[in-house]
A = this chain, B = another copy of it.
Amino acid sequence: MTKTSKNIAIIGSGLVGSLLAVYLRKKGHSVTVFDRRPDIRTIEFSGRSINLAMSNRGWRSLQKVGLEEQIKEIAIPLDKRAMHVNDKPVYFQKYGKGGEAIWSISRGILNKRMIDLAEDTGAVFRFNEKVWDVNLPEAKIYTGESEKSEWKEYQYDIIFGCDGAFSRVRHKMQRRSRFDYSQDFLDVGYKELTIPANEDGTHKLDKNSFHIWPRGKFMLIAMPNIDGSFTCTLFLPFEGEVSFEKITTPEEAKAFFKEYFPNVKKEIENLSQDFFKNPTSAMVTMKCYPWTYWNKVALVGDSAHAIVPFYGQGMNAGFEDIYVLNELMEIHGDDWDTIFSEYQKTRKPNADAIAELSYRNFVEMSSKTANPKFLLQKKIEKWFATKHPEKWIPVYSRVTFSDRPYAEALAIGDKQEAIMKEVMQMPNIEEKWDSKGVEEMIIGLLDNQI
């Protein structure tokens, strides 16, 4: 060990904690990962849990430490949305240019693989050990059986809180003065359901699509698993006319699917059984600041910025935190004060931007994707972007297929939206949407904005 190598604790063995362990081991630090849960690799597990969409930022962060290829083995590329509107054929929307795709991965399978890979680099994992308290200025953590039991004290040089949206490490920071914090829940909840594989192991729906059944105030989505199944997620208001609150019996669940999702109803496995066996979960946007304490403690991933899942960027944003931390470690060496200070200053505006974009995508996916005017607008944007790829990169592409800052994507997206608002008000836009006039108008508006 060089004298700049540190003794580091990571709280949380999830995706962000595991990847950070790999990065820190590669820099020569000593790394111990604590998790209050048992080792996910020892748990009986269907492989069908929540699905993640890995995109450019996530891949880049894996690639930097040589893990990209190993993870691609357990991922399925999705190059388009498949829109399911009742009484109409399935409508496909390509995500980007040729070859651009998001990748469907099971959270459980990925997490197991990431812990294996982190252990291979020499990180030590301590499962079933819950951190109850943190001494921030001295970088000490306290673990034990319960809040009132005897605690064990550990002393580290640096502590990373990778313990998710309800972070214990952040909780300790939150009790200090001048710590800004907010948690905002959506009035919409979600529930996981499953479409099993065909008997021959193939997928029942197009395997390389992200499937969406938009229904105004609610929607169903499906993402493929490598075992041939699909993980479906039903997003539905907790209360109101059509809501989880109103579905309390198997008959009501069947009637709900029959009315709103007739074509997928027969595919969903044990619909009425799963519906009541699986929990209804809430979604939260969590923001806070600062993210660090001196050169001792830093929050990374959901513990610093939990977002709603509608842009598929939660894990990608967390992995990008690590990528940025690594860049700063390379620039500033052993100066952890500067590393942490630059880290939070750089990442905070981008975390706020992806929180906003994710919330907006919720509105777009659930209510606008079935709206003809919205679809026309998207069509015009795509047509113009294809003709002038240097002038118009859609926000979705900036977020998903680039590594430019999220805050930039949000700002440019707002400008594009203002332009499209004017374009959509042109008389007879439905007929002349791909005319020279529209093209020139967009170019003129783009030039005016500069």
Contacts and interface: CB of A to CB of B under 8 A. Distances in A.
A182 B182 CA distance: 4
A304 to B, nearest CB: 16
A183 B181 contact: yes
Counting chain B CB atoms within 10 Å of each CB, which of A147, A178, A181, A185 scores highest?
A178
Copies of this chain, complex-wide, total 2
A183 B180 CA distance: 5
Contacts of A177: 185, 282
A: interface residue count bin: 10 to 19
Contacts of A183: 174, 179-182
A148 interface: yes
A184 interface: yes
Contact of A178 (B178, B182, B282): B282
Contacts of A282: 177-178
Contact of A185 (B178, B184, B185, B238): B178
A294 to B, nearest CB: 16
Interface string A168-207: 0000001001111111110000000000000000000000
A179 B185 CA distance: 7
Nearest to A149: B148
Contacts of A184: 180, 182
A131 to B, nearest CB: 15
A185 B173 CA distance: 14
A351 to B, nearest CB: 16
A182 B181 contact: yes
A1 B238 CA distance: 41
A238 B178 CA distance: 10
A177 B174 CA distance: 18
A148 B148 CA distance: 5
A216 to B, nearest CB: 22
A316 to B, nearest CB: 25
A147 B177 CA distance: 21
Interface string A243-286: 00000000000000000000000000000000000000010000
Contacts of A179: 183, 185
A129 to B, nearest CB: 19
A306 to B, nearest CB: 13
A287 to B, nearest CB: 8
Contact of A180 (B174, B178, B185): B185
B181 A181 contact: yes
Interface string A120-150: 0000000000000000000000000001100
Interface string A199-239: 00000000000000000000000000000000000000010
A238 B182 CA distance: 22
A181 B288 CA distance: 11
Contacts of A180: 183-185
Nearest to A178: B185
A182 to B, nearest CB: 4
A374 to B, nearest CB: 29
Contacts of A238: 178
Give 6 closest A-B pairs by Cβ, nearest first. Answer: A182-B182, A178-B185, A177-B282, A181-B183, A178-B282, A180-B184
Given A178-B282, A181-B183, 11 more contacts: A147-B147, A148-B148, A174-B183, A178-B185, A178-B238, A179-B183, A180-B185, A181-B182, A182-B182, A182-B183, A182-B184
10 contacts: A147-B147, A147-B148, A174-B183, A177-B185, A177-B282, A179-B185, A180-B183, A180-B184, A180-B185, A182-B184
